[in-house]
Structure 1
Amino acid sequence: MLFYILLARPVHAHTSEGGFVLLLPTDMYIASGVLAVALTVAMLIALPAAVTSNLFQPFPLSKPLFGGAVRMRFELSTSLLSAGVLLWLLYVGLNGPRDPLANPLPLSIWSIGWIGFVFLQGMLGDLWRVFNPWRGLVWIAHNALGLHPFARFPRWLGQSIGLVSFGVIVGFLLADVAPSDPARLARFVGLYWLVGLVGRIIFGSRWARRADGLTMLLSLYAKVGVFARRGGKICLGLNGWQIARRRPLPIGISVLCLLMLGSGIFDGLNETFWWLAKIGINPLEFPGRSAVIWQTLTGLVATNLALIALFCLALWIGVRLARVDIPFAKAFCIFAPTVLPIALGYHFAHYFTSFLVEAQYALVAASDPWATGQDFLGLGTFYVSTGFFNSQDSVRVLWLCQAGGIVVGHMVALLLSHAVARKHFGNRATLSQVPLAMFMIFCTFIGLWLLASPRGF
């Protein structure tokens, strides 16, 4: 034994981001974040009603650079280009390298698309109408080939098909055994794209508004963005100004707002030691995703149902306190969209560190899509860096950025909810907001706790 001790040398150990997070004073950070949201509530009570309403007053910037016909041709061209790129990615997914970090399809769909594009859609506005991979082909089918919509989408279905398709997307991401496997993902995306194309050809634009969960999600996030066209001009306003100034959404779309938030919460929850202990899994001996498929799906459904129940309870108490003569269903449709800034904040916080790494892999994969040693983008000796996870100072900055995203999202949601209440309830708005404010403060605590919790995989 003494012999081996004398031979011992320093060991270069690698520590992960999660290990450093556990060393941070996260209790203090969580308390500070919750306090910031609580102080926002106090500020709203003290401020005059006109102040909160004016916060969501948009500023007209200029008219669009192109007229309607030119803009339409541009959007159809970019849509066709997006469809071509998607078909090429599907081909590479089926025939390219098997490594998800080397194949462009998983990196494009999950890293660039699901993480990056969705966040930009929520921050800036409706970018999806430019990059929608269906619109151009549907226009050709309807106008060049004469395949006009020949069936009416059943009104009685509402948005139920869209809610199911959203659930399928989230379920595939969270519960499938290998959602990043290139061939498996190619088949899933290809089938979803094909069904969407056929549905749009048969039913027209109603399919996109009622049956396409992805488009419905992106359309909702577009309403959170700071830019939008209004009155023939491009306007700029605080995130959520479009929600504050529009009529209530349909009931199915309103439910989707809460599903987006609940799914984001469970996306972080299902990786924690707490959740793995609840389903009887040793986090240090994780058996693989195939062993927890049904537990994950059950947890996803239960989390969404619990969130909707809590929101409905807070809203019902608020309406009763304010003594407002309004049907509960209408109140639900009025206030459900106000949680969208929270959902966007969760989205940013949960995926921020993953994007920092995977975006680099996406760049390398774009330069060498077949993993044959090519270098189409001229990256040279570019290496993927994860050095920002190796020091406590850099991890602290990353964690504070994530926590800041959650806190800011909740603060914007509180301001938005109060502005909407002022619009519909007048002087009784403050009382109606107390339970909803408590709901949002609770969500702030949950989000920050999820960031600080140890993870099992």
Structure 2
Amino acid sequence: MRYIFLFLLLIAPGSALAHASEQGFVLLLPTNAYIAAGVATVALTVLLLARVPARAALGIFRPLLLCRRHGLPLHHVSSCTAALVLGALIWIGLTGSRDPLTNPLPLFVWTVWWIGLVALQGAIGDHWRWTNPWTGPAAVLSHVTEMRPLFRYPVFLGYGPGIAIFFSFALLLLADPAPADPARLALFAGGYWYATLLGVVLFGPRWLIRAEALTILMRSYASVSMLGRKGQHLAAGLPGWKIMARPRTSLGLALFMLILLGTGSFDGLNETFWWLGKLGLNPLEFPGRSAVVTPTILGLIAANIALVVVFGTSIWLGLVVARSNMGLTLAFCLFAPSILPIALGYHVAHYLTSFMVDGQYALKAASDPMTTGADLLGLGQFYVTTGFFNTPGTVRTIWLTQAGAVVAGHVIAILLAHGLALKAFGDHRRAALSQAPLAAFMVLYTFFGLWLLASPRGL
């Protein structure tokens, strides 16, 4: 019966934000062997690092200078363009089709931006400098009115507003009964854009850096991207090389980074048969998102608290084992960025199948944004396909790509954490000892992430 249900899910029409799934075939794959291999790869990385000379462990994060940067001040122009595109999408969201699979606003927000552009930001480089829809309009407004920020951003707030806003964003994504409804999403997006611009006018650019959750998210992921700036040059290196070159992060930003991972992990957990069973629900007769709003909110809070506690405990145990007098808060802030590759890897793995399907709908919507029969992109007779979910070979390739993203994220995280420990302690033995509990945590989290990918889902 379970396999019949999963097969019906494969052939049934989806909706925006519905995670396209190949679970019917995944359950037939030797996922236990794949999971064991992934965990063994991460564990082997830990063992090898204990024998690698410190110079070599630090050398892998040395970037390669590519070319000299030419600082053309065009980012405000592209930012204003992004704001105009967002405005057009909001207008279409309010006036266009109410179908989230044809209206371009929900497809852009949840597929192009949340899946595609966030992954691109972390994997390749900082495009947010050019696509941020607030910096350009704020610069134009400041130039026209010659008005300076009215207030100084309160230091005591730190990253608190950004954390609260990101958590609200996560609740919209996971708990709202209809996050892809075009008109409601248009009101959310338009109101948030205006409120953020008002914040920049009142408090200056620091509002974006400390209180605007999407900018904090993008800046965090940019720190683990391969491309970046080093002095006057464009440089490329192993993900995390920019973190190695920067000073320790603040406690608020460290907590934000942990919440990125906790939220992403719970986004996968709350779809599993295991979670629905804990709620006393039959996954084959799921009553709808409105029936699990409260458990989703409580689960999201509990997942993030648990992750922070376990991560903090791992850091504390490492300090004890290494007999270090470094404060726990200092160490927590030092090693928190090493979590980012794991969060990014799971983001890519979790949303890959959704992007493969909903990305096609987004392409169609871009070609005909007002559903008038236009073909702006010249797609012709383009039909959305899910055929790659119907054969074992393609499903195996997709699943191994997802598993590879998870494992690669954990391997890079272990390398990064070890490099940060070497810089902090200066001694190879103490660095390795301090990382033992954190490395064990990352190995176990590898198993958890791969288990999530392989688990049957009920949503």
Please tell me the TM-score bracket, short chain as reference. over 0.9
1:43 matches 2:45: no
Q: Provide the residue aligned with 1:447 in structure 2.
A: 449
Counterpart of 2:123 in structure 1: which amino acid? Answer: M
Aligned partner letter, 1:433: Q
SS at match of 1:239: coil
CA distance in 2, matches of 1:93, 1:14: 28
The 8 Å contact of residues 10 and 22 in structure 2, kept in 1 or not, is answered as no
1:48-83 superposed Cα distances (whole Å, 9 cap, x missing partner): 11111001011111111x33xxx22x1111001000
The aligned runs of 1:331-410 (5 Å cut-off) are: 331-410=331-410
Equivalent residue, structure 1, for 2:30: 25
Q: Match for residue 7 of structure 1? A: none
Q: Secondary structure, in 3 states, of the residue corresponding to 1:179?
A: coil
Looking at structure 2, the residues matched to 312 and 14 of structure 1 have their Cα atoms a distance apart, in angstroms, of 41
Q: What SS class does the counterpart of residue 274 from structure 2 fall into?
A: helix
Aligned pairs (5 A) from 1:204-353: 204-353=204-353
> 1:106 maps to what in 2?
106
Deviations 1:105-154 (A, max 9, x none): 01111100000000000011211010110011100111221222010111
Of 51, 58, 65 in structure 2, the residue corresponding to residue 60 of structure 1 is 65
Distance 2:376 2:415 in 1: 47
For residue 62 of structure 1, give the secondary structure of its aligned residue in structure 2: strand
Does residue 432 of structure 2 align to residue 430 of structure 1?
yes
What SS class does the counterpart of residue 426 from structure 2 fall into? helix
Distance in 2 between residues matched to 1:63 and 1:165, nearest whole Å: 37
Q: Which amino acid aligns with 1:338?
A: S
Alignment partners' CA distance in 1, 2:161 and 2:154: 11
How far apart, in 1, do the equivalents of 2:9 and 2:26 lie? 17
- Answer yes or no: is the 8 Å Cα contact 1:141–1:148 preserved in 2: no
TM-score (norm 2): 0.95
* Cα distance in structure 2, aligned partners of 1:231 and 1:425: 27
Which whole-Å deviations, capped at 9, do the CAs of 1:365-411 have from their partners, x for residues lacking one? 01111112221111110111111000011100000000000000000
2: CA distance, partners of 1:284 / 1:104:
31
How many angstroms does 1:13 deviate by?
A: 11
Alpha-carbon distance in structure 2 between the residues aligned to 1:229 and 1:336: 22
Which has the greater radius of gyration?
A: 1
Q: Which residue of 1 aligns with 2:17?
A: none
Q: Alpha carbons of 1:13 and 1:157: their partners in 2 closer, same or farther (altered >3 Å)?
A: closer
1:282 offset after TM fit, Å?
1.0
Distance 1:21 1:199 in 2: 47
CA distance in 2, matches of 1:372, 1:141: 36
- Classify the secondary structure of the residue corresponding to 1:235: strand
- Which range is displaced more, 12-21 or 314-323? 12-21
CA–CA distance in 1 between the matches of 2:130 and 2:245? 24
- Give the letter aligned to residue 393 of structure 1: G
RMSD: 1.2
| Structure 1 segments unaligned to the other structure (5+ residues) | 1-11
Once residues 374 and 222 of structure 1 are traced to their aligned partners in structure 2, the CA distance between those partners, rounded to angstroms, is 37
How many residues get paired? 441
Residues 214-235 of structure 1 show CA distances to partners (whole Å, capped at 9, x for unaligned) of 1001000000011111111111
Residue ranges of structure 2 left out of the alignment (5+ in a row): 1-7, 12-20
**1:85 Cα shift?**
0.3
Contact 2:272/2:452, CA 8 A, preserved across alignment: yes
Match of 1:122 in 2: 122
1:9 alignment counterpart: none
Q: Secondary structure at the match of 2:228?
A: strand
1:203-259 Cα distance to aligned partner (Å, 9 max, x none): 001101111011001000000011111111111110011111211111100001100
> C-alpha offsets along residues 138-176 of structure 1, whole Å, 9 cap, x if unaligned?
001112212220101111111100100110111110100
How far apart, in 2, do the equivalents of 1:229 and 1:242 lie?
9
User: Is residue 342–residue 406 contact of structure 1 (8 Å, CA) maintained in 2?
Assistant: yes
TM-score by length of 1: 0.95
Measure how far apart 1:14 and its partner are: 6.3
Q: Is the 8 A contact 2:10 2:389 kept in 1?
A: no
- What do residues 391-443 of structure 1 show as CA deviations (whole Å, max 9, x unaligned)? 01110000000000000000000000000000001211000000000010111
The runs of at least 4 aligned residues of structure 1 exceeding 2 Å deviation read 12-16
Counterpart AA for 1:436: L
Give the match for residue 164 of structure 1: 164
> C-alpha distance in 2, partners of 1:117/1:375?
24
How big is each residue's C-alpha offset from its partner over 1:68-106, in whole Å with a ceiling of 9 and x where there is no partner? xxx22x111100100000000000001111111100001
Counterpart of 1:439, as a letter, is: F
What SS class does the counterpart of residue 58 from structure 2 fall into?
helix
- The equivalent of 1:34 in structure 2 is 39
1:170 alignment partner, SS class = helix
Residue aligned with 2:65, SS: strand
